[in-house]
Structure 1
């Protein structure tokens, strides 16, 4: 029988907190996006198109970092206040490593660390 490994991912475009549902007492991992406001201002001064391309490249790298960790799980819950969770969903759906992974997306308000943990614990109970 296959062991179910679940991962909760609370994210926005700047950071993702990864909460291992099978080891809820362990501290969550954090993955940070490399695209910051300084990058935006520097590239925007040159051209808006260049800024958009750089932002997409940085976002792709950010999602790759998350996917590398999430690859070890067979159920994912993506949650948070922004569209980043849906963008990550689309990114993962293009990766065949996630073809057999159950992925759910939930909208939430902005949550502090302890609220994220409570959300994940409530999700497990369902």
Structure 2
């Protein structure tokens, strides 16, 4: 029987917590976006257009870091309080590597790390039919 590898990704535009539900006891992996408020102020002083392009480039790099880890999983749940999860979903849909990976999104409120871990556990547990 093939092992199903499941990953929960709680994200906003600043950082992502990757929570592996495969059964190992590793803690969440954190990936931070490189675009910060200082970048925004410095670039905005030069031009709004330049700021927009820099922000898009940094977001693409941020999503690439997340995708490089997520590609090793069979099922993903993207969740969080902002539109970042939907933007990541669209990014992943353009990548052929994710064709066979089941990706779901769920809107949630802002959560603590413990709440995120419980959410991922509960989300994937409903698909666990071994205990039925």
Q: What's the TM-score, normalizing by structure 1? A: 0.97
Runs ≥4 residues deviating over 3 A:
none
Residue matched to 1:42: 42
Q: How far did 1:24 drift?
A: 5.6
Distance 1:41 1:83 in 2: 22
Unmatched runs of 5 consecutive residues or more in structure 1: none
Distance 1:3 1:103 in 2: 17
Distance 2:117 2:74 in 1: 19
Distance 1:81 1:24 in 2: 27
Residue matched to 2:130: none
Unmatched runs of 5 consecutive residues or more in structure 2: 127-132
Q: How far did 1:25 drift?
A: 2.8
Q: How far did 1:91 drift?
A: 0.2
Residue matched to 2:59: 59
Report the structure number with the largest CA radius of gyration. 2
Q: Higher helix proportion, which one? A: 1
Distance 2:97 2:121 in 1: 26
Distance 1:19 1:106 in 2: 15
SS in 1 for 2:22: helix
Q: What's the TM-score, normalizing by structure 2? A: 0.93
Q: How far did 1:88 drift?
A: 0.1
Q: How far did 1:110 drift?
A: 0.3
Q: In the comparison of the two structures, how many residue pairs are matched? A: 126
Distance 2:107 2:25 in 1: 24
